[in-house]
Each structure stands twice: as C-alpha cells, then as structure tokens.
Amino acid sequence: MLVIVDYDAGNLRSVLRACEHEGIPACISADPQEIMDADRLIFPGVGSAESAVDTLHARGLDKAMRDFFATGKPMLGICLGSQIVLQKSEEGHRDCLGLVEGVVEKFDLADKTLKVPHIGWNEVEILRPHPLLSRIESGDEFYFVHSYFTRPANAEDVYGVTDYGGRFCSMLGHKNLFATQFHLEKSGKKGLSILAEFGVWDGCV
Amino acid sequence: MLSKRIIACLDVREGQLAKSVKFVDTRDIGDPIAKAKEYYEDGLDELVFYDITASSDKRDIMLDVVEAVAAQVYIPFSVGGGIRTVEDANRLLWAGAEKINVNSAAVLRPELISECAYAIGNQNVVLSMDIKQVKVSDTIPSGYEVVINGGRTPMGLDALAWALQGEALGAGELVVNSIDADGTKAGYEINLTRMIAEAVSIPVIASGGAGKPEHLLAVLTEGKADAALVASMLHFGEYTVSGLKQWLHEHGVKVRLKYA
C-alpha cells in the first residue's frame, strides 16, 4: 500500500484523490509503524517548514521516514515535502530530515518586479533522465506555490531546474527518493503522469 | 519564466452554472461540473467557482459540486461566495478546493482575511474585490470605490487602500473585479487593474469585461495582471480555452500550451 504521510501540512486529500484517479491504492497515515510497513511513501505539503518539522518530530515521524529511506523503498516528496528532506531550512532555521545533502533558501530576487511567493505555471528543464520523468520533457509546465527553494549540495541530485529570476532546483532525486517543488497533483495530466510512474517505480535509478 | 494564467469563472446557483450581466440579471446555463471538466481537458490553468445561491439552506449543494470537480479536475481551483468564517473556508478545502475567495464578508469584517490566512495559509486566501469608478474625493482618492452585495452597496472604502490592506492582512492573491465592466464584453478596466497590480506585491487577477482575445492581451500586458478571468466568452462556446491561449501565444504572451 502507498501511504501518504500526515504531518498536518496541507491538503492530503488532493494527493489521495490524484492517486485514486491514477488507480494507485493509497491511504493517509500518521502512524510510524504503518509508515514503515508501506510499499511506497508520499509526503506532500504546504505551509511552513518549521511547523512541518516540529510536527514530524512530535509524532516520531522523522525517525520513521529516515528508517523508511534506508530500506530503499520508493519515496516521493511534493512542494514543502521536497524541502524537508534536505539538511537545513532557512525558514525558521530548522534542521530537516537530512536525507539529501543541501539546504533550503528563500527567494531573494534581484528583479523586484518578480513577486514572491512564486505562484503559477512555470517550465522545467530536465537535467538528467529519471524513471519518474519518462513522460515529461523540458519545457513542460507545472503549478508552483512557494517562497523557498531547495539547493542540493551535489549537482547529481538535481534532476530539473526552473527559471524565476534565476534558475532554481525544481526536481531533486537521491537514490530511492524523488521530490518536486511544484504541485504535481495540481499540474494537470503532466503532473499526474509523474504520480502514475511513481506508482510502479521500484526505487532504482 | 512564469506563464500568464487563464482562469475560468463559474457562477453556481443551487448547483447550476449561471451567468450574470452587471451582477443583476442571472440565468442558468448548464452543469458546472461538466464545464469544469471540459475546460480542464482543453488546457485551462485554474478555475474559480462563485456560489451565488441566495438561500443559505441550499449552500451544501456547493460542497457536492466541489467534491465532484475535485475528483476530475487536477488544476488549482478556488471557491467563493458566502464564506464568513474559517469554518466555512475549511469545509470547502476539505471538499477539495485549493483556495478560498473572500469578498463582502471581508469588507464588513477585515479580520476574516487574517483568520483564514492563519488557518489555511496566505497562499490559499484570495481577496476578491468588486469595484466601481466614482468621482475622486477625500474618502476615495483613487477614484475607485469598493462595493458589496453584488455591486449594490457602496462602502465608502477606497479600492487601492483596500487592496493594500488586504495584502497586509495576509491575502495571497487579489481578484480585481470591475462592476462597471462586468458583463459588458467591452474589455477589462485596464487603469484600475494596473493601478492595483503596480501597488501590491501579490498576484493580481483581472476580472470583468472580457469579450474578445484582445481584451485579455491588453489586461495581461498594459494592465499588468498576472491572470485573466473569463466567463461568458467560454460558457457560450464563442471561444475555447486552447484557442484563446494559442491566440495569446501568437501575440507574444507567455501561456502554458502543452497540457495533453
């Protein structure tokens, strides 16, 4: 069973609905044991990194997610869920899960006509192939809503970038983990295709 | 680079799609769920539903509409109309809406914006403003006044001041709806839209008056809007979402074209 991790960070039901639409059996859980027993894991999220990290910690889910990652089973982070896998976030200066080396920074754009948060549809440029991106090509657009972005330390963890007053990492991957800054569950058929591929991914790159 | 968004607005009354002219004469024109699906398939970027159901005891019908749309449409959508409390907002989010739109109730009680922003996040709170052009005065220095109750009640509140206050209270986006232009199909209120878009640092969605593709082009360029709301242009089959986007693309506006 695919488990969607409940850490009080946003509309989990929209991800659940998208899974149902793609024919992927899924449930929502905040129980560390259920999470460890899952075949695959999605951690969506909107809101702030500080409250998300605090909730994960309070529920013992940070350890569960680290242990799950170590099993090699597939994991997918969405939006805020893509940020909490790094080591540190500027938002609330929190230590995050540390599954991927790197940090989360706030947009500080030289072009002051660009608005923050970055809201709307924007293009991705794919830097390296990944099983989840088999139906995606550079130039495809996805729906973003965020003020912070990830900066993985290792270039090989960056799978895609997006331009908003400069290029930022919009898709990252490390071993059995993949994560998108955009809301793939709100990005039409292109977004749903990533979810569908995740539903059958074996976690190997 | 960020694309300009085309947002379809569906007025829903007791579960049926309605279209108003100058906010008074409304008639029912079909099934909002079928329309939403059709526009989604054709490349729409976002949806807004306004519940214009008059009697409060029939408002739960809207929750069913939201549930049905959320099961079929995988783009952001917001719902407005009759939201007076955080509880109202949460019910709509739980049913599947991405964002909520507040309007009259926020004018009467501005804390509603900050309460919703705290509860569901700034990015999910859209402040919708109905605005009428008036004579410049000490109370209305911009010459644009906020009105409520579908345009019938002037509030003695300056539209520019209200936009800035709304942003400060935590609204994540603004809908600038010109009551003068609404339903005329004569074009958006460009001056009003630009004035507000230049003053705030959150996205501005232009609303009211769309009749031709040229109107969208004007408001997305000269008007500096981040998104354009359309209704009757699409609802009566005169234009299609993909056709409008292709036309805008050919006229130099960055829009999302690949969606299949």
Cα torsion for B113, B117, B120, B125, to the nearest 10°? Answer: 60
A130 assigned to active site: no
- Please state the rounded mean pLDDT for residues A29-40: 96
Residue B247 contacts A where some CB pair is shorter than 8 Å: no
Q: Is the pLDDT of residue B27 over 70?
A: no
Query: Which of A101-105, B195-199, B232-236 shows the lowest mean pLDDT across its residues?
Result: B232-236
Average pLDDT, chain B: 92
What would the pLDDT profile of A107-144 be if each residue is shown by its tens digit?
Answer: 999 998 888 889 999 999 999 999 999 999 999 999 99
pLDDT at B22: 45
Residue A1's alpha-carbon distances to A10, A19, A38, in angstroms, are 21, 11, 6
Active-site positions of B read 11, 130
How many Cβ pairs closer than 8 A exist between chain A and B? 83
pLDDT at A117: 85
Closest A-chain CA to B3 = A121
- Please state the rounded mean pLDDT for residues B208-225: 97
Distance of CA A144 to the CA centre of its chain: 12
What would the pLDDT profile of B98-107 be if each residue is shown by its tens digit?
Answer: 899 999 999 9
What share of residues in chain A are helix, strand, coil (percent, to 5)? Answer: 30, 30, 40
pLDDT at A31: 95
Report residue A80's pLDDT band, with 50, 70 and 90 as the boundaries: very high
Chain A CB contacts of B72 below 8 Å: 21
Q: Is the pLDDT of residue B28 over 70?
A: no
Q: Is the pLDDT of residue A193 over 60?
A: yes
* Both structure tokens of A186: 């709100």
Report residue B26's pLDDT band, with 50, 70 and 90 as the boundaries: low
Report residue A93's pLDDT band, with 50, 70 and 90 as the boundaries: confident
Could you tell me if A182 and A170 are in contact, meaning their C-beta atoms sit under 8 angstroms apart? yes
Report residue A43's pLDDT band, with 50, 70 and 90 as the boundaries: very high
In order, the DSSP letters of A159-200 are: EEEEESSSEEEEEEEETTEEEESS-GGGSHHHHHHHHHHHTT
Largest Cα span, chain B:
52
Of the partner residues B1, B202, B260, the one whose CB lies closest to the CB of residue A189: B260
- Please state the rounded mean pLDDT for residues A21-40: 96
pLDDT at B23: 47
- Please state the rounded mean pLDDT for residues B217-231: 97
What would the pLDDT profile of A153-175 be if each residue is shown by its tens digit?
Answer: 999 999 999 999 999 999 999 99
Could you tell me if A63 and A32 are in contact, meaning their C-beta atoms sit under 8 angstroms apart? yes
- Please state the rounded mean pLDDT for residues B7-11: 94
Q: Give the 3-state secondary structure of residue B147.
A: strand
Of the partner residues A17, A20, A120, the one whose CB lies closest to the CB of residue B2: A120
User: With a CB-CB cutoff of 8 Å, which residues 150-179 of chain B face chain A?
Assistant: 172-173
Could you tell me if B73 and B24 are in contact, meaning their C-beta atoms sit under 8 angstroms apart? no
Query: What single DSSP character describes residue B180?
Result: T
What would the pLDDT profile of B55-99 be if each residue is shown by its tens digit?
Answer: 667 778 889 999 999 999 999 999 999 899 999 998 998 898 989
Of the partner residues A18, A47, A115, the one whose CB lies closest to the CB of residue B74: A18
* Reduced 3-state DSSP string for B69-126: HHCCCCCCEEEECCCCCHHHHHHHHHHCCCEEEECHHHHHCCHHHHHHHHHHCHHHEE
Question: Looking at chain A, how many residues does it have?
Answer: 205
Largest Cα span, chain A:
48
Q: Is the pLDDT of residue B236 over 90?
A: no
Q: Is the dihedral of CA A117, B172, B232, B220 positive or negative?
A: negative
